[in-house]
Structure 1
Amino acid sequence: MTVHAPTKTGFEKWQDGINKAVGDAKWDAWDCEIQTAVNEYNRHLSGTAGYFPLDWHLIKAMMWVESGANNSEWKTKPMQIGVAGDPGMTSLLFGNEGGDLILPPIWKRKLTTGSVRTIPAHNIRAGIGYLLMKMANYEYRSVRSTDTKVYEAAVKPGDSLDKIAKAQGCTVETLKEMNPTAFVLRPGQVLKCQKASVQRVITNWRSISTTLVAQRYNGGGDPNYAKKLDYALSLMRKGKAVLCEP
């Protein structure tokens, strides 16, 4: 009787292919670009509350899962952001989801829909930016301007804090902070104020895990995404690190 080997699952077939990546220089081609990009983001976001430096190995593992050296997109879109049907690039560059707070200033000017789809260094930075955008928590808060001058506003009949704030380029929160006893407004009363506006700010960060990356970056499209990331990370730890210039 002929004994047939058990049919391999899709994940097992993927494992067979990815095992060959260790030691193959093509799969390490973007290591230095990834490290440079991750360092840029870590410097830019280091001052935000609760930010923990991103590990570049996670990004490399994502690229092995997203495309890999044998994929036709490896030399243009290694992180797959910007491919047909993917909303991530638009969300990062043009949406109202916080991408403007995530991107380092120099990359706000450089990244375009065209460059993300054709230049690997831009695709990598867009992918990292989208990942971090989905890992941040945001709130709208009153933020004071760089203009630290204290202005005065005289209360007129019919005025409210909201009306005064709009007229002075201030916010109600700032008026309350600077005039803690102004519970009832009286005509002729003089209030202090500073320029301020309500802006989206990063309040804290989710703790990044392979499961969360699968949910918020991949969107659940691949049920084995987190499992693949874990496996790719384990292979990388066995490989030899690429030396990059500082």
Structure 2
Amino acid sequence: MTTTCGTLDGKVALVTGGSRGIGAATAVRLAREGADVALTYVNDEAAAEDAVRAVEALGRRAVALRADAADAGEAAGAVASAAEALGRLDVLVNNAGIGVLGPLEGLGLLDVDRVLAVNVRAVFLASQAAAGRMTDGGRIITVGTCMTQRVPGPGGTLYTMSKSALVGLTKALARELGPRGITANIVHPGPIDTDLNPADGPFAAGQAAMTALGRFGRAEEVAETVAHLAGAAYVTGAEFAVDGGHAA
């Protein structure tokens, strides 16, 4: 077992949707910086346990919490559960989200309600709950999308709308919580190589071509920026593109 030492020693973080992809990479990176980590999952308990073991291998405490962000009670309740399990809460990473893509005329009310519930309402409720649990100097970091800055084609109306709402939420949180030294920032990933959007998938070449670097990013590259923001005290209300130049 390796004991980590870093900028987040003694801190506790909650990463929603932390069982795989960007969330799992973020959980591990925060642990490398010294944080104990709680993470939420919905269905993939095995992946969540793998992420917990990866954190524990770094000498940090970890817990996996089943919480469906589509359920208002569970979205807020995960914050309380994380704080109770690990003793406090210093960092919230709003990573859980879903993408429903398709032609505007094909999107039904159920699609709209679920996307807004997971991508917007859950983030608001978790941030609200975290603000009530955090001591002064906490951090709220939300994962958005490069499509809030540049929509490359049709089919992203609902998803882009939901993620764009998080920009306004982040700026408002920064103003409201600033007097307590709690910062709020948002990270916009570009095409990232994950199970849901693999770099060798059928639509990958077109996505990579839209970036200035001509490639997919790695989940660890997004996690690096999240970890920086988890330690930064004088950065708030800001947007950070980790998109390989997608918005350039």
| TM-score, normalization by structure 2 | 0.24
Q: Which has the larger radius of gyration?
A: 1
Structure number with higher relative contact order (C-alpha < 8 Å, ≥ 6 residues apart) = 1
Choose between structure 1 and 2: higher strand proportion: 2
